[in-house]
Amino acid sequence: MSETSGHSPRSADDPEPLRVVLAKLGFDGHDRGLKVVARTLRDAGMEVIYLGLRQTTESIIAACEQEDADVIGLSMHNAGHLTLAPRMVQAVDTAGLDVPVVIGGIVPAEDVNVLIEAGVAAVLGPGASAEEVVAAVKAAVTRQSAAR
């Protein structure tokens, strides 16, 4: 038993709440959306580890490891997404973490596919409904665990 107890990858029908790390990367003070998303995910039964403003890829990775998070959610409004989002995905890979990165905020339509190509699991924009936000997070976890 102790041989297998180390890594139990999460399956989609796991009854325990999903754990989501939410953060803003760098100098971007728009945290209204992130707060809305935090409440939305909590109301959907998830545990939100809210890091808030001025995080770095390192601080997010550290939180993810310590909190054994299932998803990283970033909110981006400062036009830095094309650099910051792929950098986050890269950092997750480097750390050997098996955690999808979901993004929301201001991302022009033409950038969405670039980010998906770079390994971002989902991109949501202004007006995304609570249902869409919850579905995107759940789908990201499901796809990740299916890909294992």
Q: How far apart are CA 60 and CA 56, in angstroms?
A: 6
Which partner from the list ligand B12, other proteins, none does 17 bind, CB cut-off 5 to 8 Å by kind?
other proteins
Among 18, 19, 21, 31, the residue binding ligand B12 under the rule CB under 6 A is 31
| Closest to other proteins by CB, 49 or 136 | 49
Closest separation in Å from C-beta 91 to ligand B12: 16
DSSP secondary structure code for residue 76 in this structure: E
Give 40's Cβ-side CA count (13 Å radius): 19
Q: How far is the CB of 69 from other proteins (least distance, A)?
A: 8
Per CB under 8 A, residues contacting other proteins are: 1-8, 16-17, 38-39, 41-52, 55, 59, 62-63, 65-68, 95-97
**Residues in 104-133 at the binding interface with ligand B12, rule: CB under 6 A:** 104-106, 124-128, 133
One-letter amino acid at 132 equals E
- The window from 10-18, 54-62, 101-109, 110-118 that contacts ligand B12 (CB under 6 A) reads 101-109
Binding site for ligand B12 (CB under 6 A): 28-34, 36-37, 73, 75, 77-79, 102, 104-106, 124-128, 133, 136-137
